[in-house]
């Protein structure tokens, strides 16, 4: 079931198109990667979802209903540009932000105690923010994002500023929140974390959505019939056996084994490649090369930009 | 509404708990009290310094007539002593030496010699004393020469002093005692208080908005509440801080008054009163000097005759209107800029009318019916200070009404525009904005 949707969102600032007809669907209990180059419109879309700005056209649906002001308490948002009141005590501050999300004093206290214990930061309660390091502040910010148990969580570049240990801690928390039922929208430039975490992605470029779907399907769509084979035998013999429908992209010879990258050019069955190779050398491994999200990102954006060049 | 209340509470509490707030709240009244009490106290102290003045009277006219006066004591000396004193004034027991020439009646001058810089009061005191003696002497000679019986009494009976009692005639023909001086003080004082508070607390709102933008917490907050709620909570919370401060000042002021009264014990007050009386008598025998009871009563009466309910209502109205108008504009500026320097550029055009209105205050209280006063009290950006300053002079009702309506409309407009600029600016970083850019933001949709 789709938990969250946007339909044909348009947003214009002055003469700049920030978003053009953007529709995304986020399945319940999934982690959805919102990707795109800088200035593509991701942050604007996130702000529209949070009702910080209103779209010029288009609608946002949460759990099948048009989103309203009351849904604010169902959303947790960790913005990319984030900070805290530097002179305010941590405890007072998280309590304040939780109350702004509509929690009662008691409810907020209970949840905050849980998180402070979990992150082992109970002793920070009476400290001022300016006494904490940046990484420590990020932990507090993470707590303020999740304290009200939102059903939809939005993280904009959540790992910037974290050291690898804390980044991993937060990653585990995000996965746990998803397993407990939260739906997560997640924006980042780090394609490694996208592959680790995301089930679905959408790619936004120059105000338009140019790609979306389950991450495996997207990758599948971007593969270019390249195979990687390692074998024992002579390269010339292998090359000769391939015929016209395959092209050798690269080959490497070592003392122990040789490897070769081959691109299929006329859409034949993959198995015909294996058949051809079988007679030429001793095959040690054979695999199709699936592009990384990094490759997909670059390819999709470059392709779109080439096709839509301004005259 | 509930969330606005949460914001308001935080804005209020964090400010009131700040050390700087507590310090200014306590120190400002102390400072003003000191400003009033210390000079009075010092002046009563100074009077008690005993000064011995050596007098060499070449004319021999003043021998019996200069003795003691307050803490100044005169000692007559012969010429030989005078000559030696002149050479060694520094180590003598005398504070100064007065030389009265033989021909003082014609030259009208004497000399006061001292090794130090003499206080102005002392030379004035001696001038007065000598003039008085000579004048009395001359007059009695004239009276003798004229040979008119009882001339002295007759002359005394010609002394006259006229008091002008200003009366304001109301529409019903009723006469009320009014005092221009009371109206002037009320008008200037109230105008200044409004100016001070609007300026101080308006900038406080601006700084607070800038802080939230600078430390990047604002996006988290406006994902929970509407920017308008945040702004409202901030503006109202800050206003309450101001009112708290005023309330504390009033309480402290009353307490301080008690302390001051205790400090000036009845004897001390009587003594002071006497010295004032004396100094007034010394001005010259021609002017009667006792401050008339009726004058003080008159001032009290004209205070009572000010339209107090109108003044209180006007003060609250223009205070609120002016504060809302300026603080929403300044809040918008705080949201639009990234750093203090940029804010200065934009703040000046906004606060200029406020500064202008304080400069117009004097002109308005001098001529409360003039064109300057009229326009300044109608135009909304200056009216909070200027119309309030005119109120003690009872301007026509339609002018007050027009000024109020315009202020309300402008304030609503300013809040609307301020909110628009605020919600666009608060999330915009690294862009230097100018007035044209701000106006463009007004056209953006929420």
Residue A254 belongs to domain with CATH number: 3.30.70.60
Residues A211 and A240 in one domain: no
More confident residue, B409 or A264: B409
The answer to whether residue A249 scores a pLDDT higher than 90 is no
CA B107 – CA B274 distance, rounded (Å): 34
- Please name the residue of chain A whose CA is at the shortest distance from the CA of residue B429: A81
Residues of A with CB under 8 A from a CB of B: 13-14, 47, 50-54, 56, 69, 72, 75, 77-79, 81-88, 96-97, 99-102, 141, 144
A93 near A84, Cβ under 8 Å?
yes
* Residue B199 Cα, gap to closest chain A Cα (Å): 24
Select from A185, A220, A255 the last residue of a domain: A220
Interatomic CA distance for residues B31 and B252, integer angstroms = 12
d(CA A142, CA A155): 9
Encode pLDDT of B374-393 as tens digits.
999 899 989 998 888 888 88
Taking alpha carbons only, the member of B340, B20, B17, B21 closest to residue B210 is: B340
The pair of structure tokens assigned to A168 is: 């991993």
Question: Strands (DSSP E) along B254-381, which ranges?
Answer: none
- pLDDT exceeds cutoff 60 at A128: yes
Residue B149 touches chain A, beta carbons under 8 Å: no
Angle at Cα B84 formed by Cα B78 and Cα B89, nearest 5°?
110
Cα distances from A121 to residues A88, A92, A115, A125, A128, in angstroms, run 17, 14, 9, 8, 13
Average pLDDT of span A230-255? 84
CATH 3.40.190.10 given to domain B50-148: yes
Q: Is residue A300 part of a domain?
A: no
Same domain membership, residue A250 and residue A172: no
Q: What is the mean pLDDT of residues B416-440?
A: 81
One domain, residues A75 and A99: yes
Tokens read off for B407: 């202020």
Q: A174 with A231, same domain?
A: no
Which residues in B313-337 are b (16+ Cβ under 10 Å) and which e?
ebbebbbebbbbbbbbbbbbbbbbb
Most confident listed range (A262-271, B98-107, B203-212, B304-313): B203-212
Domain spans, chain B: 2-33+179-262+306-441, 50-148
Same domain flag for A249 and A179: no
Count how many domains chain A has: 2
Chain center to CA of A159 = 12
Structure tokens, B175:
């006469």
What gap in Å lies between CA B418 and CA B420, rounded to an integer? 5
Indicate the DSSP class of residue B291.
P
What average pLDDT is seen over chain A? 88
Q: Are A85 and B217 within 8 A, CB to CB?
A: yes
Q: Is residue A239 helix, strand or coil?
A: helix
| Pairing of β A16-27 and β A31-35 | unpaired
Interface of B with A in 410-429 (CB under 8 A): 423, 427, 429
Which has more confidence, B164 or B226?
B226
Helix crossing, B383-390 with B308-336: angle to 10°?
Answer: 170
**In terms of domains, do A167 and A24 share one?**
yes
Query: Residue A302: inside a domain, yes or no?
Result: no
Q: Does residue B288 carry a pLDDT above 50? A: no
- Whether residue A209 is found in the same domain as residue A283: no
A71 plus A193 within the same structural domain: yes
Q: Which of A274, A219, A230 is nearest to A253 (CA)?
A: A230
Contact list in B for residue A51 (CB cut-off 8 A) is: 223
* Chain A residue with Cα closest to B208: A85
Choose between B302 and A76: higher pLDDT: A76
Q: Where are the beta strands (DSSP E) in B89-130?
A: 96-100, 111-113
Residues A272 and A203 in one domain: no
Task: Tell me what pLDDT residue B287 has.
Answer: 43
User: What pLDDT band is residue B170 in, cutting at 50, 70 and 90?
Assistant: low
A162 assigned to some structural domain: yes
CB contact set of B16 (below 8 Å; sequence gap of 6+): B241, B244
Domain-located, residue A41? yes
Residues from chain B that touch A77, judged by Cβ atoms under 8 A, are 219-220, 223
On whether both A284 and A162 belong to a single domain, the answer is: no
Please report, for residues A203, B221, B230, the alpha-carbon distance to residue B224 in angstroms, rounded to integers and kept in the order given.
27, 5, 10
Judge: B6–A96 Cβ closer than 8 Å, yes or no. Answer: yes
Using CA coordinates, name the residue in chain A closest to B214.
A83
Q: Cβ distance B133 to B64 under 8 Å?
A: no
Domain containing A247 equals 224-288
pLDDT surpassing 60 at residue A243? yes
A-facing residues of B in 179-218 (CB < 8 A) are 211-212, 215-217
The pTM is what? Answer: 0.74
Q: Is residue A306 part of a domain?
A: no
**Is A85–B215 a contact, with Cβ atoms under 8 angstroms apart?**
yes
> How high is the pLDDT of residue B289?
41
Tens digit of each residue's pLDDT (9 = 90 or more) over B42-61: 766 655 677 888 888 888 77
Which of A106-110, A154-158, B118-122, B265-269 has the lowest average pLDDT?
A: B265-269
**B345-373 residue pLDDT tens:** 888 888 899 889 888 888 887 788 888 88
pLDDT of res. A75: 93
Say whether A79 and B219 touch across the interface (CB within 8 A): yes
Sign of the four-CA dihedral A51, A147, B220, B212: positive
Comparison of pLDDT for A203 and B426, the residue scoring more: A203
The residue whose two tokens read 């928390």 is A173
Average pLDDT, whole number, for chain B?
80
B249-263, B381-395, B409-423: lowest mean pLDDT where?
Answer: B249-263
Comparing CB atoms, the residue among A87, A100, A141 nearest residue B224 is A100
B161 to chain A, any CB pair closer than 8 A? The answer is no
Compute the half-sphere exposure of residue B190: CA atoms within 13 Å on the CB side of its CA.
30
Sequence-separated contacts (24+) of B180-183 with Cβ below 8 Å: B181/B299, B182/B299, B182/B302, B182/B303, B182/B306, B182/B392, B183/B302, B183/B306, B183/B365, B183/B392, B183/B393
Asked if A79 and B223 come within 8 Å (Cβ–Cβ), the reply is yes
Is any Cβ of chain A less than 8 angstroms from the Cβ of B7?
yes
The span from the CA of B30 to the CA of B16, in Å, is 19
Is it the case that residue A143 has pLDDT exceeding 90?
yes
A298: in domain: no
Same domain, A114 and A13: yes
Compute the distance between CA of residue A196 and CA of residue A168 in angstroms, rounded to an integer: 11
B138 touching A (Cβ < 8 Å)? no
Is residue A6 within 8 Å of A59, Cβ to Cβ? yes
Is there a contact between B206 and B348 (Cβ–Cβ < 8 Å)?
A: no
Q: What percent of chain B has pLDDT over 70?
A: 83
pLDDT confidence band for A274 (50 / 70 / 90): confident
Place of tokens 């999200």: A293
């Amino acid at each position: 079931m789709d938990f969250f949707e946007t339909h044909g969102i348009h947003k214009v600032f002055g003469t700049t198109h920030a978003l053009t007809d953007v529709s995304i669907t986020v399945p319940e209990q999934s982690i959805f990667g919102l990707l795109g180059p800088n200035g593509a419109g991701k942050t604007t879309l996130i702000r529209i979802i949070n009702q910080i700005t209103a779209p010029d056209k288009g609608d946002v649906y949460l759990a099948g209903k048009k989103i309203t002001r009351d849904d604010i308490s169902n959303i947790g948002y960790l913005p990319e540009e984030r900070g805290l009141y530097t002179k305010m005590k941590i405890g007072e501050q998280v309590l304040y932000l939780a109350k702004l999300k509509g929690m009662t004093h008691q409810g907020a206290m209970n949840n905050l105690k849980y998180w402070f214990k979990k992150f082992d930061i109970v002793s920070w309660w009476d400290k001022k923010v300016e006494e904490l390091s940046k990484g420590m502040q990020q932990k507090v910010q993470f707590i303020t994002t999740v304290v009200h148990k939102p059903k939809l969580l939005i993280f904009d570049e959540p790992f910037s500023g974290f050291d690898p240990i804390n980044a991993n801690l937060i990653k585990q928390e995000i996965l746990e929140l998803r397993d407990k039922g939260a739906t997560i929208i997640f924006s980042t430039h780090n394609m490694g974390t996208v592959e680790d975490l995301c089930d679905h992605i959408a790619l936004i470029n120059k105000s338009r959505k140019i790609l979306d779907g389950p991450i495996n399907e997207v990758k599948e769509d971007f593969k270019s019939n390249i195979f990687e084979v390692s074998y024992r035998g002579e390269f010339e013999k292998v090359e000769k056996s391939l015929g016209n429908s395959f092209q050798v992209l690269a080959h490497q010879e070592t003392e122990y084994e040789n490897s070769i990258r081959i691109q299929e050019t006329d859409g034949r069955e993959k198995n015909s490649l294996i058949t051809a190779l079988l007679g030429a050398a001793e095959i040690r491994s054979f695999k199709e090369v699936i592009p990384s999200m990094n490759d997909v990102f670059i390819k999709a954006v470059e392709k779109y930009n080439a096709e839509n060049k301004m005259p | 509404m509930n969330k606005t209340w949460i914001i308001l509470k935080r804005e209020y509490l964090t400010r009131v708990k700040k050390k700087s707030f507590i310090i200014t709240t306590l120190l400002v009244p102390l400072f003003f009290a000191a400003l009033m009490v210390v000079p009075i106290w010092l002046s009563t102290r100074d009077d008690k310094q005993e000064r011995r003045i050596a007098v060499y009277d070449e004319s021999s006219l003043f021998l019996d007539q200069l003795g003691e006066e307050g803490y100044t004591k005169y000692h007559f000396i012969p010429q030989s002593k005078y000559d030696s004193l002149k050479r060694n004034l520094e180590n003598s027991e005398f504070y100064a030496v007065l030389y009265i020439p033989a021909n003082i009646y014609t030259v009208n001058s004497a000399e006061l010699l001292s090794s130090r810089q003499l206080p102005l009061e002392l030379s004035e005191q001696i001038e007065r004393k000598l003039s008085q003696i000579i004048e009395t002497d001359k007059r009695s000679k004239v009276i003798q020469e004229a040979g008119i019986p009882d001339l002295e009494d007759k002359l005394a009976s010609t002394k006259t002093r006229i008091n002008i009692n200003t009366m304001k005639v109301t529409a019903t023909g009723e006469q009320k005692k009014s005092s221009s001086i009371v109206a002037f003080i009320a008008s200037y004082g109230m105008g200044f208080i409004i100016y001070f508070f609007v300026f101080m607390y308006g900038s406080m709102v601006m700084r607070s908005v800038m802080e939230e933008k600078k430390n990047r917490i604002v996006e988290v907050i406006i994902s929970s509440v509407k920017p308008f709620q945040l702004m409202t909570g901030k503006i109202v919370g800050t206003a309450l801080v101001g009112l708290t401060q005023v309330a504390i000042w009033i309480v402290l002021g009353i307490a301080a008054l008690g302390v001051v009264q205790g400090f000036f014990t009845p004897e001390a007050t009587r003594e002071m009163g006497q010295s004032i009386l004396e100094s007034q008598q010394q001005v010259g025998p021609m002017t009667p000097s006792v401050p008339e009871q009726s004058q003080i009563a008159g001032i009290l009466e004209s205070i009572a005759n000010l339209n107090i309910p109108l003044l209180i209502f006007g003060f609250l109205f223009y205070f609120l209107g002016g504060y809302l108008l300026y603080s929403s504009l300044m809040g918008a500026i705080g949201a639009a800029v990234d750093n203090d320097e940029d804010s200065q550029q934009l703040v000046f055009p906004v606060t200029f009318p406020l500064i202008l209105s304080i400069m117009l205050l004097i002109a308005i209280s001098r001529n409360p019916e003039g064109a300057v006063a009229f326009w300044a009290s109608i135009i909304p950006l200056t009216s909070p200070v200027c119309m309030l300053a005119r109120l003690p002079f009872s301007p026509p009702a339609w002018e007050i009404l027009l000024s109020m309506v315009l202020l309300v409309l402008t304030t609503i407009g300013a809040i609307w525009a301020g909110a628009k600029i605020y919600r666009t600016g608060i999330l915009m970083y690294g862009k230097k904005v100018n007035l044209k850019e701000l106006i463009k933001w007004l056209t953006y949709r929420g």
